[in-house]
Every structure is written in structure tokens, then in C-alpha cells.
């Protein structure tokens, strides 16, 4: 199937010509990837690929539409694990009953993904595979002990989120492989979390965003564990372990949040671009970290945010 104009003299649609395939199984996907190699791109929700094709920044000669692979369309919860198939949409997760109590950081991050129309169509795993440094889902994978399953000619591999995001728009997925599932850990107990983001307007990509998660001791006077992740501050989403180290073992008070936020400011390495200077991104990340930690601690103390 070619997407060329049907009538002589009329202009073609924006994307370059491509052949279209609609497999019904993972095995068919792998067969098509093996046959067409680097010429092929996988189409899930299309929220990343289609705009690139329209601008001819991506010109695949083969598009593999996986929307007919029903086995990849699911969302499951198993104890503290959230399993997300490759065709699950952002909105599927956003509408999960109880998500605000399980993990408010995750719900807040999802609600920052574009507009409702985009969340209705775009896929979670597709966002992970695209690996935009300003996207929310890669940060959630880093902050929630995410793992990603990929399947290829040699079988299935499970890749920790820490190893999955390699560089700008680049992941550990090898040629001939397809990402099929992501799993996130949703902690319970004396745990609070929060995600905050600054964008030029609602629905835009983040200039900078920060997610934090905090576990408190039984007397709520000590931070037992912490996660700090950020977007829009590097080539990929980042987990800022230096800030986490500052938090663990200390009393959850404002001065601690300020200290951790200063560490974030000094640790991240953003670049100047048309949207913001590096210094501006550092300053925003510092402010968002401090505010996010304060909210996460408040939620952890109340034991109402994460079950």
C-alpha cells in the first residue's frame, strides 16, 4: 500500500511514500522487522512517529502498524506491580481506579501528557521507546523501578529502566526487537509522591519537570527511602541519586528539601535551547524539587496518598 496521491497532478500527502503492514501477532511483527530492517518503523499510537513523518524528519519506507495485535492491549495490577502492554494508552492508566491513592506522582505525570485527545491515542510503551528527554513516562520508569520487556529474534529480554534510556531519542532496544511491556512498582504504606512540571502552556512539552517519592519510618520522623527524577534537563530523563542520598536517613523538614534541591541544581547538566537557557532549567528544577518533596512528605505522613 502506497500513500501517494491518487490523481495525477495532485500533491502527495506530507509523509514520504511508504508501504503499510498490519500484523496480528508479535511473531508477525518480528518477521516484518527481520525482513525490512532499518527501513521499518513501528506504529502504535502514532503521537511521536506521525508528526516526524509529516515533517519528513522520519522517512521510513515501511510502517508496521501493531494496533491489531490484541495480545499487547492490556493493563494489569498484581499486588504492587502495574503491568502495561505495548498498546495500552495513556488514558487507560489515567483512569485506573485508585491510582491517586497508589501513586499520585504517576497520575500527576500522566495528566501532563499533552491533551486528552493525545492521551486517548498515544501509548505508554511507545513513549518509553521514543525516549524524548522532555516526556513524562521515562521519568516514571526511572522513579518507579521500571523494567521493560523487549522481544526479538533471540527471544525476550527484560531491561531495567536505568539501562534502557541511552541518549537522546535512543534506547537499549536492538534492531529487530520490539518493546512489548513495561512494569512499574507502586509502593504502599508510609510513602508519598508528587510530580510537578513547568511548560509554556498546557499540553506543551515540559521545559522542566521533577518527580519525587519518599518513604518514612514508622514514627514518620526519618526518610527511609527516596527517589528524585527529572525531565527536560539532559539527553534523557534522569534519576538524581545524589539528591536521594542527601534525603535518606534525615528528618523530613523544609531545610532538608532545600538542601536536596540545591544538589539537584548543581548535579543536572541541561543545555541551552530555543525554549530555555541551561541556568533557567537548573533554577526551575531546584524550585520544583523543593516543592515536590514537601508535598510528597505531607502525603507520606498522612498515609492517604499511597494506600
* Domain containing residue 249: CATH number: 3.30.390.50
Q: Which three cell numbers stand for residue 33?
A: 522487522
Task: Specify if 284 maps to a domain.
Answer: yes
Burial 106-136, CB ≥16 within 10 A → b, else e: bbbbbebbbeeeebebbbbbbbbbbbbbbbb
Decide: 172 and 149 in contact? Cβ < 8 Å. no
Give the pLDDT confidence of 51-98 residue by residue, as tens digits.
999 999 999 999 999 999 999 999 999 889 999 999 999 999 999 999
Query: Does 303 have pLDDT greater than 60?
Result: no
Judged on CB neighbours under 10 Å (0-12, 13-18, 19+), 137 is buried
Query: What's the mean pLDDT in 101-116?
Result: 96
- In this structure, the answer to whether residues 62 and 76 fall within a common structural domain is no
Query: What's the mean pLDDT in 184-188?
Result: 93
296: confidence class by pLDDT, cuts 50, 70, 90: very high
Query: What's the mean pLDDT in 262-281?
Result: 97
Query: Does 24 have pLDDT greater than 70?
Result: yes
pLDDT of residue 5: 44
Query: What's the mean pLDDT in 5-14?
Result: 55
Give the pLDDT confidence of 109-123 residue by residue, as tens digits.
999 999 999 999 999
Q: Which of 137, 167, 185 is the last residue of a domain?
A: 185
Q: What is the mean pLDDT of the chain?
A: 94
- In this structure, the answer to whether residues 151 and 89 fall within a common structural domain is yes
149: confidence class by pLDDT, cuts 50, 70, 90: very high
4: confidence class by pLDDT, cuts 50, 70, 90: very low
The residue to which cell 504502599 is assigned: 188
- In this structure, the answer to whether residues 159 and 214 fall within a common structural domain is no
* DSSP H or E stretch at residue 241: helix 241-247
* Domain containing residue 26: CATH number: 3.30.43.10
pLDDT of residue 14: 85
Eight-class DSSP state of 186: -
**DSSP symbols for 288-303:** HHHHHHHHHHHHHHHT
Q: Which three cell numbers stand for residue 302?
A: 498522612
pLDDT of residue 6: 47
Task: Specify if 8 maps to a domain.
Answer: no
Lowest mean pLDDT among 218-232, 238-252, 292-306: 292-306
Nearest to residue 164, comparing CAs of 173, 154, 176?
A: 173
pLDDT of residue 13: 54
pLDDT of residue 172: 99
Task: Specify if 307 maps to a domain.
Answer: no
| DSSP bridge partners of 65 | 43
Total number of domains constituting the chain: 3
* Domain containing residue 157: CATH number: 3.30.465.10
Any long-range contacts for 53-59 (C-beta under 8 Å, 24+ apart)? 53/14, 53/15, 53/16, 53/18, 54/14, 54/15, 55/14, 56/14, 56/15, 56/16, 59/15, 59/16, 59/18
Lowest mean pLDDT among 20-29, 47-56, 177-186: 47-56
Task: Specify if 89 maps to a domain.
Answer: yes
Query: Does 1 have pLDDT greater than 80?
Result: no
Task: Specify if 3 maps to a domain.
Answer: no
- In this structure, the answer to whether residues 176 and 83 fall within a common structural domain is yes
Return the percentage of the chain with pLDDT > 70, whole number.
94
Q: Domain span at residue 196?
A: 191-300
Task: Specify if 47 maps to a domain.
Answer: yes
pLDDT of residue 216: 98
Amino acid at each position: 500500500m502506497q500513500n501517494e496521491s491518487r490523481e495525477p497532478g495532485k500533491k502527495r500527502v506530507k509523509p514520504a511514500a511508504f508501504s503499510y503492514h498490519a500484523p496480528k501477532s508479535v511473531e508477525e511483527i518480528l518477521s516484518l522487522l527481520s525482513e525490512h530492517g532499518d527501513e521499518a518503523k513501528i506504529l502504535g499510537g502514532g503521537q511521536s512517529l506521525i508528526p516526524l513523518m509529516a515533517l519528513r524528519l522520519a522517512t521510513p519506507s515501511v510502517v508496521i502498524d501493531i494496533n491489531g495485535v490484541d495480545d499487547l492491549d492490556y493493563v494489569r495490577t498484581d499486588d504492587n506491580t502495574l503491568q502495561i502492554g505495548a498498546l495500552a494508552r495513556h488514558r487507560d492508566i489515567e483512569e485506573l481506579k485508585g491510582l491517586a491513592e497508589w501513586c499520585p506522582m504517576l497520575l500527576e505525570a500522566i495528566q501532563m501528557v499533552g491533551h486528552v485527545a493525545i492521551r486517548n491515542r498515544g501509548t505508554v510503551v511507545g513513549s518509553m521507546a521514543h525516549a524524548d528527554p522532555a516526556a513524562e513516562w521515562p521519568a516514571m520508569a526511572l522513579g518507579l523501578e521500571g523494567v521493560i520487556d523487549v522481544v526479538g529474534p533471540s527471544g525476550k529480554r527484560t531491561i531495567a529502566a536505568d539501562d534502557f534510556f541511552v541518549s537522546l531519542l535512543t534506547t537499549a532496544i536492538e534492531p529487530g526487537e520490539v518493546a512489548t511491556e513495561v512494569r512499574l512498582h507502586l509502593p504502599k504504606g508510609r510513602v508519598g509522591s508528587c510530580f510537578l512540571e513547568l511548560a509554556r502552556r498546557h499540553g506543551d512539552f515540559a521545559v522542566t519537570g521533577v518527580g519525587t517519592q519518599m518513604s518514612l519510618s514508622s514514627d514518620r520522623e526519618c526518610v527511609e527511602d527516596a527517589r528524585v527524577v527529572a525531565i527536560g534537563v539532559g539527553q534523557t530523563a534522569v534519576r538524581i541519586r545524589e539528591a536521594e542520598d542527601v534525603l535518606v536517613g534525615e528528618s523530613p523538614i523544609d531545610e532538608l528539601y532545600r538542601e536536596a534541591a540545591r544538589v539537584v541544581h548543581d548535579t543536572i547538566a541541561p543545555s541551552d535551547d530555543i525554549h530555555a537557557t541551561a541556568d533557567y532549567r537548573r533554577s526551575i528544577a531546584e524550585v520544583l524539587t523543593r516543592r515536590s518533596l514537601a508535598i510528597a512528605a505531607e502525603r507520606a505522613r498522612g498515609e492517604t496518598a499511597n494506600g
